[in-house]
A and B are shown apart, each in its own frame.
Chain A
Amino acid sequence: MRPFHYVKANDLPGALQAFAPQNDPTNAAPSVNAATQYLAGGTTLIDLMKLDVMRPATVTDINALDQSKAGQIEFGDNGLRLGALVRMSQAADHEAVKSNFPVIAQSLQLAASAQIRNMASLGGNVLQRTRCTYFRDTSYDNCNKRNPGSGCAAMDGMNRNLAVLGTSNDCIASYPGDFAQALIALDAMVEIAGSAGTRMMPFAQLHRAPGSTPQIETTLTQGELITAFQIPNLPWGKRSLYLKIRDRASYEFALASAAIALDLDNGTVRDVRIALGGVSAQPWRAAEAEALLKGKPIDDTMLLAAADKAFEGARPKKHNAFKVQLGKATLMRALRDAATMTI
């Protein structure tokens, strides 16, 4: 780990002030090279600093913000507001979250370990980095996420855990998180604070497709800080779930996962939201599969059709081709479970 200045922010203005402008104001530099990094739970940042993947000159500790609104969970007529400094375990164990938005509680509960869930903030969780081995191992120069234009060692390397959807010719890294899929499925908004004030944005617009610039992972601009997630009260919130398939029964990233939010009308799909994890380069909404299901019953024919549609554009590599079939089966099982769950 390289030496850094440790700065403790007592509140939001303090956090934003501690941000030092980057040399490159265009945002084109790799996000891992940002000179100032916010520190919340640290479960990604400290790990990647130890690996020398991230090398901030200044680390701004924002954990004191959990004493403000950014550390609170609020539930009411306007829906659910999750402060960005709420820890994963707090949201996973929250009664209103569990009963009204089971997909959120499950996506958090099935992630990481109890210790990490006590540490990791919700804001940091959605910004966690890919676990692509070649991104984490700096002995490989050829990683377009770390060294733009250097190539991608994963293309012909060990790519079993990597993405089949949303990839590009420059990067096949998979997005590792779970909670983000729940937010996508529930039409969540993300609240972002910056020097110019606070803005709201659909959460689905936060992560960028890798394209030819995989080093730029989000649409956040320099110094911006996620402060909350806003989840609307919509008819499909209660009939929602997260299904996660992985190599181990616990404490493991998804090989394939599905977040489902379903509005059923007497066995027919009035509306549905599908987000896929483990198989994609960014939190992935299967919009075409959703459209296919609307107005239709959840039966084997429709499930197969929806699953085929969701993976129509899949681009498997040598070791991860199994993810297409696994992803389809995961999606079908999740939809069937959602249709039959008691609410």
Chain B
Amino acid sequence: MRNSNDGEGSRSGSANGSGWSRRTFLGTSFGSTVAVVALRDTGNAQSPAAAASPRDKIAVSLNINGKPHDLSLDSRTTLLDALREHIGLTGSKKGCDQGQCGAYTVMVDGQRVLGCLILAAAVQGKEVTTIEGLTGANGALHPMQQAFAEHDAFQCGYCTPGQIMSAVACVKEGHANSADEVREYMSGNLCRCAAYPNIVDAVLDAKTKMEA
């Protein structure tokens, strides 16, 4: 939970004079954590069903944005917590953590889902895509990311990664054919700053570019 309410939103990259930002510091910390887990995992590999105590960690292999991650996790770990706390991908946000706000929307096998209500163990063998996986290999923004920036479709930005993941899926599902349809199919993503009119504009604009 250390990073659950930091309000950083999408305003990352504000490096200070020393070359260290809070985000890069956190990223480094997470890297260390992953290394420790990986070491422990090699000495204590278990199949989930073989765990003797429910408190024993289980080996979980995840495919995130095309990269494999072998983790040793408490069975209670949600996909969201695996991403944020164990892999260091902090783009997906923890909002309500109850499936109501949509800030943790990610894609599993191309379908948008809620990372807070899915166990990490349950998405093994599936392809998970997060906001970090949306950007092109050359660092170019996805058309939806570009549209959110151009249409000022956020204020604090906390809900933005979830909004963008949901919006990309909304277009791919064919449910972005009118402002009304966008509003209905984006209703699972809440924005407390109420940037909704601009979000609808961004989705409709990006749809044109995604289909071009």
Question: Which chain A residues have a beta carbon within 8 Å of chain B's beta carbons?
Answer: 1-8, 39, 41-43, 46-47, 50, 57, 59, 61, 63, 89, 112-116, 118-119, 249-251
Contacts and interface: CB of A to CB of B under 8 A. Distances in A.
B31 interface: no
A3 B187 contact: no
Contacts of B114: 43, 115-116, 119
Interface string B100-112: 0010010000011
Nearest to A87: B111
Interface in B30-69: 48-49, 51, 53-55, 58
Contact of A42 (B58, B98, B122, B188): B122
6 contacts: A42-B117, A114-B175, A115-B112, A115-B113, A115-B114, A250-B183
Contact of B118 (A42, A59, A113, A114): A42
Given A3-B53, A113-B188, 14 more contacts: A3-B55, A4-B76, A6-B51, A8-B49, A39-B119, A43-B114, A59-B75, A63-B122, A112-B188, A114-B166, A114-B169, A114-B173, A114-B186, A115-B166
Contacts of B173: 114
B170 A114 contact: yes
B97 A50 contact: yes
Nearest to A117: B188
B176 to A, nearest CB: 11
Given A4-B75, A119-B114, A39 B166 contact: no
B184 to A, nearest CB: 5
A203 to B, nearest CB: 26
Given A118-B111, A250-B183, A8 B118 contact: no
Given A3-B54, A7-B49, A39-B119, A115 B97 contact: no
Given A6-B121, A7-B49, A250-B183, A115 B76 contact: no
A3 B76 CA distance: 7
Contacts of A59: 75, 119
Given A113-B188, A250-B183, A5 B54 contact: yes
A112 B188 CA distance: 8
Given A5-B75, A61-B122, A47 B117 contact: yes
A47 B75 contact: no
B78 interface: yes
Nearest to B120: A6
Contacts of A112: 188
Contact of A116 (B51, B78, B119, B188): B188
Nearest to A251: B187
A115 B188 contact: yes
Interface string B158-196: 000000001001100101000000011111110000000
B130 to A, nearest CB: 14
Contacts of B75: 3-6, 59
A124 to B, nearest CB: 12
Contacts of A41: 117
A113 B99 CA distance: 10
A85 B74 CA distance: 26
A322 B170 CA distance: 36
A208 B206 CA distance: 48
B49 A114 contact: no
Contacts of B98: 47, 50
Given A3-B55, A63-B122, A118 B113 contact: yes
Nearest to B60: A6
B78 A46 contact: yes
A119 B121 contact: no
Given A4-B76, A5-B51, A8-B48, A115 B119 contact: no
Given A3-B55, A4-B54, A7-B48, A113 B121 contact: no
Contacts of A1: 76
